[in-house]
Structure 1
């Protein structure tokens, strides 16, 4: 489907790739540059280069490439498997790994690794997200449950919907939180000023995060968060909303933050009922070495 936008006075002199990256949800600037090179973007009916400076009144038209063009290949990538049976896996995803392929990340994802490891995965979310019941961000480490068949997927997704899956995270935030515990109940939706970000918005979806302080440092706080809902970037958005943004977060953190290559956020534990036996399953993993080292440095 072709989409269209007329350049406003405020947007004048902005590069076409930057402007479209703001306008199109969940698409990176590098992906937009590929679209432009592959003739998916036209300005006033003509092709332009990625560095074209938009002028007021320019008529921009673009068409998203068909996702079916993605070829998802099995790749022999090591997996840290915490638990596995015939219905599901619990995986400790490393920091820096994308969960499922997209136009900008076709290789090296968790799905690529799962396709190599597993004979079968659920197909409820289609060919591009086999087995994926829920996600965590690329630079967030920690636990994910993966469904091997559609029945298991349906039951687990139902538990997510009814909020009976318990997910706890560890994070390090800027600032010293004075109270021991807290609850953030603030709806989350797409940021109207930046389509690649989420934010607390009046028309957002309900989002609830519980937190408790684990340890305070001079300028930071070590915090445990428990999700009641699972919105995109929920903990990152909520901690920013209460003025304690996550350390290292390039999207929602402070301009001057810790240079640690991404947000200090780790999915430490998960608990759910097994989709076949109804037995309560609970798993917990320690944070990665960078997280432990950061805590040790803050201690000093």
Structure 2
């Protein structure tokens, strides 16, 4: 049962499991009449999995955008790294959505199937297998700041993504993602050409067709696009030692590797990391923090964030890389930390401990609440806090480096404008003291 792929009217690839979601019911995919465990679930037999999912509704609650709980049937084909592994082991190591005990209960109750046959605690996933698991989803709220459309034509939609919203469905987020929000609220079906971290704000390029997406992705792959970000970091970022550094910026070429994909935890790894290169140039310093222009020349996960931390100037409100409670006083400078200890602390974030950062060291945030859903009995999370929703890293300019000659940019974020205004006011005050 291979993952067959076709294309839709816009030329986007559509996996077989997504096609099935539009046509088939959760009842049929979870074994139907052959699975006696489904009786207690009271599954609708005449409603597709997509119809069930689309019953979710959005509500704006002050700074938060909420989506109502809904039923969702995960369907996925076996990935290469999953082959010949027990399902329980796979769930507990690859997915962070539920506890191992909850996955154990789902398997024991026949709520997970392999190729339409109820799985057990001893089930092993093989090449070509299709795994299904129906859940009552509770998505975390995201920022209610609007998605601004910077430019739109027949091929592309260019947006200014707010911080705190993932680019596409991933992990615990589905409807609360840029692509589904644009589709549900504006009727625009698009494919992201570049993917910003959930917490990073700024320019996203989205294609309206498979052909347009391929052209843009090829430009990015061939490094024909210059990207510029702005970040607010801890301390007085250096101007550089040589005249070249002072003019063009400080170059960081430290290889990066992902330690834990569930946490998106990345570090500098000089032996096994992938080549990574970023240029940094200080824009100003206000006596405590610096605004820094960041130009990533490669596209590794968390590249700017990890390179800044390695230099000793992490982003001021980075919950992964700037929290003294996680990293200690040196905040991970020069890679001076024990990976296993950091990983253990990070696994508690969002579960028993709220996210913290240098800027907000004691901010309340999302943790397990001790309250449970009346429908599915799953433990619920508290609302996200300030460290869960914003990062002072903004992609403000993308432009072609070839004769294609295009470029897009956004307005500077409020936190950058505030710092610029502060510095201007200080300069004016000093000028008044000098006199004519």
Q: In structure 1, what is the equivalent of residue 305 of structure 2?
A: 236
CA distance in 1, matches of 2:401, 2:208: 15
Q: In structure 1, what is the equivalent of residue 405 of structure 2?
A: 280
Per the alignment, in what secondary structure is the counterpart of residue 37 of structure 1?
helix
Structure with greater helix percent? 2
Residues 297 and 37 of structure 1: CA distance in aligned 2, closer, same or farther (over 3 Å): farther
Write out the 4+ residue segments of structure 1 that deviate beyond 6 Å after TM superposition: 60-63, 67-71, 297-300
1:145-170 CA distance string (max 9 Å, x none): 11111111111111111111111000
Per the alignment, in what secondary structure is the counterpart of residue 192 of structure 2?
coil
Q: Structure 1 residue aligned with 2:359, among 236, 258, 263?
A: 258
Q: Give the gaps of 5 or more residues in structure 2.
A: 1-81, 110-121, 138-144, 241-245, 325-356, 361-385, 427-436
Q: In structure 1, what is the equivalent of residue 399 of structure 2?
A: 271
Residues 87 and 93 of structure 1: CA distance in aligned 2, closer, same or farther (over 3 Å): same
Per the alignment, in what secondary structure is the counterpart of residue 406 of structure 2?
strand
Q: Which has the larger radius of gyration?
A: 2
Q: In structure 2, what is the equivalent of residue 94 of structure 1?
A: 162
Q: In structure 1, what is the equivalent of residue 195 of structure 2?
A: 135
Residues 279 and 135 of structure 1: CA distance in aligned 2, closer, same or farther (over 3 Å): same
**Correspondences of 1:196-211 after superposition (within 5 Å):** 196-201=264-269, 202-211=271-280
Q: In structure 2, what is the equivalent of residue 289 of structure 1?
A: 414
**Correspondences of 1:1-300 after superposition (within 5 Å):** 1=82, 3=85, 20=92, 23-24=93-94, 27-28=95-96, 31-33=97-99, 36-39=101-104, 66=131, 78-116=146-184, 117-118=186-187, 120-121=189-190, 131-178=191-238, 179=240, 180=246, 181-191=249-259, 196-201=264-269, 202-255=271-324, 257-259=358-360, 261=387, 262-272=390-400, 279-293=404-418
Normalising by structure 2, report the TM-score.
Answer: 0.50
Per the alignment, in what secondary structure is the counterpart of residue 32 of structure 1?
coil
- Displacement of 1:273 in angstroms is 7.6
C-alpha contact (below 8 Å) 2:175/2:181 kept by paired residues: no
- Displacement of 1:263 in angstroms is 2.5
1:158-216 CA distance string (max 9 Å, x none): 11111111110000111212224201111111127996301111212211111111001
- Displacement of 1:293 in angstroms is 3.6
Q: In structure 2, what is the equivalent of residue 50 of structure 1?
A: none
- Displacement of 1:39 in angstroms is 3.1
Bigger RCO (CA 8 Å, 6+ sep): 1
Normalising by structure 1, report the TM-score.
Answer: 0.70
C-alpha contact (below 8 Å) 2:309/2:321 kept by paired residues: yes
- Displacement of 1:119 in angstroms is 5.1
CA distance in 1, matches of 2:148, 2:230: 19
Q: State the superposition RMSD in angstroms.
A: 3.8
Number of matched residues?
251
Per the alignment, in what secondary structure is the counterpart of residue 111 of structure 1?
helix
C-alpha contact (below 8 Å) 1:41/1:61 kept by paired residues: no
CA distance in 2, matches of 1:158, 1:68: 35
CA distance in 1, matches of 2:273, 2:298: 13
Residues 68 and 287 of structure 1: CA distance in aligned 2, closer, same or farther (over 3 Å): farther
CA distance in 2, matches of 1:233, 1:161: 17
CA distance in 1, matches of 2:98, 2:124: 10
- Displacement of 1:284 in angstroms is 1.4
Q: Give the gaps of 5 or more residues in structure 1.
A: 8-16, 48-59, 72-76, 122-130
C-alpha contact (below 8 Å) 1:40/1:62 kept by paired residues: no
Residues 292 and 66 of structure 1: CA distance in aligned 2, closer, same or farther (over 3 Å): farther
Residues 221 and 150 of structure 1: CA distance in aligned 2, closer, same or farther (over 3 Å): same
- Displacement of 1:294 in angstroms is 5.6
Per the alignment, in what secondary structure is the counterpart of residue 86 of structure 1?
coil
Per the alignment, in what secondary structure is the counterpart of residue 171 of structure 1?
strand
Residues 292 and 107 of structure 1: CA distance in aligned 2, closer, same or farther (over 3 Å): same
1:58-94 CA distance string (max 9 Å, x none): xx9998x9589799xxxxx953111111111111001
Higher mean C-alpha displacement, 175-184 vs 282-291: 282-291
Per the alignment, in what secondary structure is the counterpart of residue 39 of structure 1?
helix
- Displacement of 1:220 in angstroms is 1.6
- Displacement of 1:141 in angstroms is 0.8
